[in-house]
Amino acid sequence: MDYDFDLFVIGGGSGGVRAGRVAAMGGAKVALAEEYRMGGTCVIRGCVPKKLMVYASGYAEMMDDAEGFGWTIGNRSFDWGKLIGKIDDELDRLEAIYRKGLVGNGVQVFDARAVVKDGHTVELSSGETFTAKWILVATGGRPFVPNVKGAEHVITSSDIFLMDELPKRVLIVGGGYIASEFAGIFNGMGAEVTQFYRGAQILRGFDGEVRGHVADEMIRKGVNLHLGTDVVEIAKKEDGLHVTCTNGSVKVVDEVVYATGRVPNTEELGLENAGVKLGRKGEVMVDRYSSTSCDSIYAVGDVTDRVQLTPVAIREGMAFVETVFNDNPTAVDHEFIATAVFTQPEIGTVGYTEEDAREDFDIEVYRAAFRPMANVLAGRDERMLMKLIVEKASRKVIGCHIIGPAAGEMIQLAGIAVKMGATKEDFDRTVAVHPTASEELVTMKEPVR
């Protein structure tokens, strides 16, 4: 059968763009449809603008610290509109790069919503219909807002980048990394920040000691963190949004930001027309090669709800091309993926938490908590935490957790060692780089547990 395209990609985020571009570079005839902006969650409403906001929010603290090093800082103020304008310019630049990469390599781009009609056919919101030998679903995810009374008054992480001004009083609902990152961002910019999380501690799924350390430092920096607390009702009144809490109290704020998880974008995508099986949360069910229950349809990225990280989506997109177009079946290795969380303080983590490791292995735990050099003259009590989880039998480092400045940069390099199977003795044989905070990773001699 003759098809219009060899590959039709639905979704212009990191995974879909990479797969489409690389397949086209290899000679395939490729189309890609994106209904909003090229770049997906990461570029348009996620990692990139968020990290720029993290940078912006950190300058107040940096200016405070500068005085401890002899600098005199004059009058200062923060201009939300100026920052958003600069971020918008950068997103426009990145989006253009994504589009150029596709078009320049021969991908036909459709600025339209695509739905699946059957295993080889897609229909666009423009009314056009196309056939393809292969269809790749890469539609990502979106923020989830629970059915709370007054939910029409809340915003999500996606809406933050569209706000006209910085709210003076913000309530963040949620305890994951997105909620905790934005709590730090708004706090650093000078807003009065309250964070509600219904669980016993924020950052579920991370190492327990890391969770407690970050929560304590966030509170010390000014975030009004309430654990075991949720929202009952939100009412809009003249002086702001009145939020009734589960403990009966009422909090008045200017904005309520919900960051209570994300759900895959599979609604009204037509996947049932091709017999594609979905999971309980609407995620596309795939095997290790990203193949769905329909032989001609694959899926990568957040829509599969495997590991919701941009580099993972890109890896999955590349593996798809190898599998389908290069006759080289390739599965993505999802073990030991290093991750940075841009809370304030920052987290870098790879491998097992102490709690999970104890369930599967006999382990040793090495730990260092210290005040970094920069904080001494700044007069800041904030401490860094570094932690290694070692399996006794193999001596391999199976977990590494860092909290503090540049933790994300450090964990990228530590992640190489952990992925390679480095032992504690390999770490010990490495000569320290002095004076740095990272030298603590190779100078921890005695296990604490």
On whether the CB atoms of residues 179 and 160 are closer than 8 A, the answer is: no
Residue whose entry in the numeric block shows the structure tokens 């290795």: 333
Q: How many CA atoms lie within 13 A of 393 on its CB side?
A: 4
The Cα 14–Cα 162 span in angstroms is: 21
Rounded to the nearest 10 degrees, the angle between the axes of helix 208-221 and helix 177-188 is 20
SS3 41: helix
Out of 153, 213, 242, 434, the active site residue is 434
The Cα 90–Cα 169 span in angstroms is: 27
260-280 as b/e: b if 16+ CB within 10 A:
bebbbbbeebbbeebebebee
The Cα 175–Cα 181 span in angstroms is: 10
The Cα 171–Cα 241 span in angstroms is: 10
Q: Tokens at residue 428, please? A: 């010990």
302, 303, 306, 310: CA torsion to nearest 10: -20
Give residues with Cβ within 8 angstroms of 79, minimum separation 6: none
SS3 446: coil
In degrees rounded to 5, what are phi and psi of residue 43? -80, -40
Give residues with Cβ within 8 angstroms of 149, minimum separation 6: 232, 233, 234
Active site residue 334: no
End-to-end CA distance of the chain: 64
CA dihedral sign of residues 338, 343, 347, 351:
negative
Q: Strands of 240-245's sheet, edge to edge?
A: 231-237, 240-245, 250-253
Q: How would you classify residue 39: left for phi > 0, otherwise alpha for psi between -120 and 50, otherwise beta?
A: left
Q: Tokens at residue 116, please? A: 């699946």
Q: Which residues on adjacent β-strands are paired with residue 389?
A: 365, 399
Catalytically active residues, by annotation: 434
